[in-house]
Structure 1
Amino acid sequence: MKTWHYALLVLLGGCCYGALSTFVKLAYAAGFTSASVTGSQLLMGTLIIWIIALFSKKKKLTLPKVGKLLLSGIPLGLTSLFYYQSLQTLNASLAIIFLFQFVWIGSLFEWFFYKKKPTMGKVISIAILVIGSIFASGIIAGGSGEITWQGTIWGMLSAITYTTFIFLSGSVEKDTPVVQKSALFTTGGMITVFIISPPTELLQLPVLLEIAPYGFYLGLLGVVLPPILFTIGMPHIGPGLGTILTSAELPIAVILSALVLSEHVSTSQWLGVVLILGGIIAGNLKIAKTKIKPSYLERESTL
Structure 2
Amino acid sequence: MMSERARGCGHPVGSHTGEVPTLASATVGARFWLLVEHTGPWASHLSECALPAEVHALIERATELGVRPQLIRRPGRRDEAAGPLRILVADTTAEVPWLAEGFFDDPGDLDLGSLVRGVVPESCILVKEPVFLVCTHARRNACCARIGLPIARVLGESLPGRVWETTHVGGDRYAANLVCLPHGLYYGSMSQAAAIAAANAYRHGEIVLDRFRGRAGIPEPSQAAEHFVRAHTGELSVGGVAVESTRSDGDVTEAVVRHGDVRFRVVVERTVFAPCGTACADTIMTYRLAALEPIRCGTPVLT
Fold shared per TM-score above 0.5: no
Q: TM-score, normalised by structure 1?
A: 0.27
Larger radius of gyration: 2
Relative to its length, the structure with more helix (as a share) is 1
Q: Which has the higher contact order (CA 8 A, sep 6+)?
A: 1
